[in-house]
Amino acid sequence: MPPYIPLITELALLGLATGFLAGLLGIGGGMLMVPFITLILSQRGVANDLSIKMAIATSMATILFTSISSVRAHHQHAAVRWDLVKGLAPGIVLGAALASLGVFALLKGSVLAIVFGVFVGFSATQMFLDRKPAAARQMPGVPGQWAAGGTIGFLSGLVGAGGGFISVPFMTWCNVAMHNAVATSAALGFPIALSNALGYAIGGQSVTGLPTGSFGYIWLPALAVIASCSVLTAPLGARAAHRLPVKKLKRVFASVLYALGAYMLYKGVRGG
């Protein structure tokens, strides 16, 4: 068997799984991709610190493709709040640029892994507890949405996720219906991914020790295989999201975040 066959198989299975999760949970699949790409790169001799950074960057780049497939399916159900996409996107672009072009390169991979674990765990707790927002609470005005978008874009740039781990709890806290929050988060994945992927590609040009097929911090072979497979299953996940009751959807969302956040927190504490 050619040595690249197992690698392609691993990446294809990862792509199929993350595509489904992207459509189901609006998380862009980054929560699953980052831990597994880190493991795959580490097994191929890439330094631990660099493997974490490349996993984050490659994960974000794949969300460019996953988000398009996912949002089309959600849009067919008239679930995307395009007014919220318009309000949050400008801040997302600014926050993502700050993270991927500046802060990302300065932080160690182990620190990024800890940031990943902490924020994912926090978001999972909010979703799992299913706290009911105050009935009068609504989404903030334009300045507030820009600020919220900036936070989502910045944190997404640090952990390589599509922003759903922040945007979904935030929108539901503001009394946006869960299915609308998931669908809108999927739509927000594209500007998050585009801004961050450009930053990772530019910021990683001078980095040494990158494996063959790298473009900055982005590992192109993984991007090609995962993206090709994830677009097949993202619509299936989106359709499933509209069949599940809200409470069950929140519990599924929280369970995925807990498991993967704990893994990356462990990696960070152990020094990458």
At 12 the pLDDT is 93
At 131 the pLDDT is 61
**pLDDT higher than 60, residue 28:** no
Domain that residue 151 falls in:
4-269
Specify the number of domains making up the chain.
Answer: 1
Which has the minimum average pLDDT: 110-119, 140-149, 199-208?
110-119
- State the average pLDDT for the chain: 81
Dist CA 161 CA 52 (whole Å): 13
**pLDDT higher than 80, residue 23:** no
At 135 the pLDDT is 58
User: Residues of the chain with pLDDT > 70: what percent?
Assistant: 88
Contacts of 251 (CB under 8 A, 6+ apart): 127, 128
At 29 the pLDDT is 65
Model pLDDT for residues 200-241, shown as the tens digit of each residue: 898 888 888 888 889 999 999 999 999 899 888 877 887 787
Give 219's strand partners: 214
Dist CA 65 CA 144 (whole Å): 29
Which of 62-76, 133-147, 183-197, 252-266 has the highest average model confidence (pLDDT)?
183-197
Mean pLDDT score, 71-93: 85
Dist CA 48 CA 200 (whole Å): 18
Q: Higher-confidence residue: 65 or 61?
A: 61
At 218 the pLDDT is 94
Helix axes 178-203, 220-241, angle to 10 degrees: 170
The residue written with tokens 């790409």 in the block is 37
